[in-house]
């Protein structure tokens, strides 16, 4: 299951996030060959106002793709990361730089509790 964590600017509207969520789920389920139900986007809004100068930090939107689906495999994740980054970049009309990384999870180190 992929869990993309997308760190977005404070002023991002719920409408933008809802549309972005749908597109992230669509792209990752297609590119990773998993059920849309298994894609769980996590949006993190900054609690501070957006940076206005370089001394306050950057304005790059960071995306971490938490998943065990690449663990121990020779598959190159860069095409999937590029597709995910492009979706985020387009959602913000190219206003922000977008950096996407895999947070590789070890599937041997998990516990999954199913609902009743």
Structure confidence by residue, pLDDT tens digits, 75-92:
899 999 999 999 999 999
Q: Is residue 90 part of a domain?
A: yes
Q: Which pLDDT score, from 0 to 100, does residue 49 have?
A: 76
Q: Is residue 94 part of a domain?
A: yes
Q: For the chain, how far is it from start to end, CA to CA, in angstroms?
A: 20
- The Cα-based distances of 115 to 23, 36, 45, 66, 112 in angstroms read 26, 18, 28, 22, 10
Q: Is residue 115 part of a domain?
A: no
- With 0-12 CB in 10 A as exposed, 13-18 as middle and 19+ as buried, what is 91? buried
Q: Is residue 13 part of a domain?
A: yes
Contact 102, 65 (CB under 8 A): yes
Q: Tell me the average pLDDT across 1-18.
A: 94
Q: Is residue 82 part of a domain?
A: yes
Q: How many folded domains does the chain comprise?
A: 1
CATH code assigned at 64: 3.30.429.10
């Amino acid at each position: 299951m992929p869990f993309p964590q997308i760190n977005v600017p404070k002023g991002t509207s719920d409408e933008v996030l809802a549309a972005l969520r749908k597109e992230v789920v669509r792209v990752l389920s297609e590119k990773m060959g998993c059920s849309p139900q298994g894609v769980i986007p996590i949006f993190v809004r900054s609690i501070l106002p957006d940076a206005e100068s370089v001394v306050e930090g950057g304005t790059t939107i960071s995306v971490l793709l938490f998943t065990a689906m690449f663990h121990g495999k020779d598959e190159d994740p860069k095409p999937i990361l590029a597709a995910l980054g492009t979706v985020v970049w387009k959602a913000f009309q190219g206003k922000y730089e977008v950096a996407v990384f895999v947070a590789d999870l070890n599937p041997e180190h998990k516990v999954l509790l199913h609902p009743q």
